[in-house]
Amino acid sequence: MPLNPQVEALLAMFAALPPVDFTTLTAPALRATNDTPLAFGEPPAVAQVQDLLLDLPGRTLPARLYVPEGAAQPAAPLVVYYHGGGWVIGTLETHDATCRALARASGAAVLSVGYRLAPEHAYPAPVDDCYDALVWAAANAGALGCDPAQLAVAGDSAGGNLAAAVAILARDRSGPALRHQLLIYPVTDDDFTLPSYAENGGGEYFLGTEMMRWFWDQYLGRAADAPLARIAGTPDLASLPPATVITAEFDPLRDEGMAYAARLAGAGVPVDAATAPGMIHGFFSMFQPVPDALPWIDRAGANLRSGWCAA
């Protein structure tokens, strides 16, 4: 399918930005130009937004709770959300509109987690933060007006990678029971030979191979063995929570996301997996200039709602 016209117009705007030299790029420099959310109008309205500090072992993390209109009372389902950004960039602010939209679509409260970023906090620090944030959410759900028996994890790109890793850890550590995992164009491996990299990795579609190599280098640091980063290699995917996996046609990460979905399904995990035609990496968070992304947010929200109804 051809590139979506709404996406094409957005890419034309991105093309006017200065090029990035990944041989000299530093994380602070990239954050300086990427951690201010683009203004595309008023974000979706929700009933309540609350900034929090999560008191975790040896550290505190910022978080933000979104409660939509019509959320179940007195205890709403809770989605713990991990933002994208290659484990290096991204903030609560960059994904504010995304979390609002997901809260509205799912009818659940959404807890967005400001985990520590690489390279200052390389693997496995972001995974540890995200898992500990889930444990905190389960323990404090009642105080948040949420139901600890109705928990899910979600994330986009690197955040999708972290959500999948947290689901694996929750299973392996007998941690909080999860009703669903929502993985939006997740990173699952550092295999740059996949066809989707050959087709879409030149950088013209927002995310390119050079950028992904740089992100992986920042995240892994000196870690030689990183199974919770390269989740595609997880030997056993059985007994994980039902999953929604959404990828984009013009995304270098498309094939690894769909391959992970196929492995989940092969392990007996209920999976709804689909590639959004005409879309690029990041489209889920671009719904204001790309309203054709909205049905995909609705699909994700509907699957989360189904999870609350599951036995």
Domain ranges of the chain: 5-309
What b/e string do you get for 249-259 counting C-beta neighbours within 10 Å, with b at 16 or more? bbbbbbbbbbb
In tens, the pLDDT along 240-249 reads 999 999 999 9
pLDDT at 224: 80
Amino acid residing at 50 = Q
Q: Say yes or no to pLDDT of 17 above 90.
A: no
In tens, the pLDDT along 147-195 reads 999 999 999 999 999 999 999 999 999 999 999 999 999 999 999 999 9
Q: Pick the catalytic residue from 128, 129, 156, 157.
A: 157
Catalytic residue flag (residue 83): no
222 exposure class (CB count in 10 Å sphere: 0-12, 13-18, 19+): exposed
What is the crossing angle of helices 96-106 and 294-309, to 10°?
50
Catalytic residue flag (residue 174): no
How many other CB atoms are there within 10 angstroms of residue 72's CB atom? 15
- Please report the beta strands in 101-177, taking only residues with DSSP state E, as ranges in sequence order: 109-113, 146-156
pLDDT at 222: 83
Q: Say yes or no to pLDDT of 309 above 70.
A: no
pLDDT at 38: 67
Strand 48-56 to 59-67 pairing: antiparallel
pLDDT-based confidence at 40, cuts 50/70/90?
A: confident
Strand 271-280 to 48-56 pairing: unpaired
- pLDDT > 90 in the chain, percent: 90
pLDDT at 311: 45
pLDDT at 120: 98
- pLDDT > 70 in the chain, percent: 98
Q: Pick the catalytic residue from 112, 272, 281, 285.
A: 281
What class does CATH assign to 5-309?
alpha beta
Mean of the pLDDT values across residues 267-274? 98
Catalytic residue flag (residue 281): yes
Q: Pick the catalytic residue from 129, 251, 255, 272.
A: 251
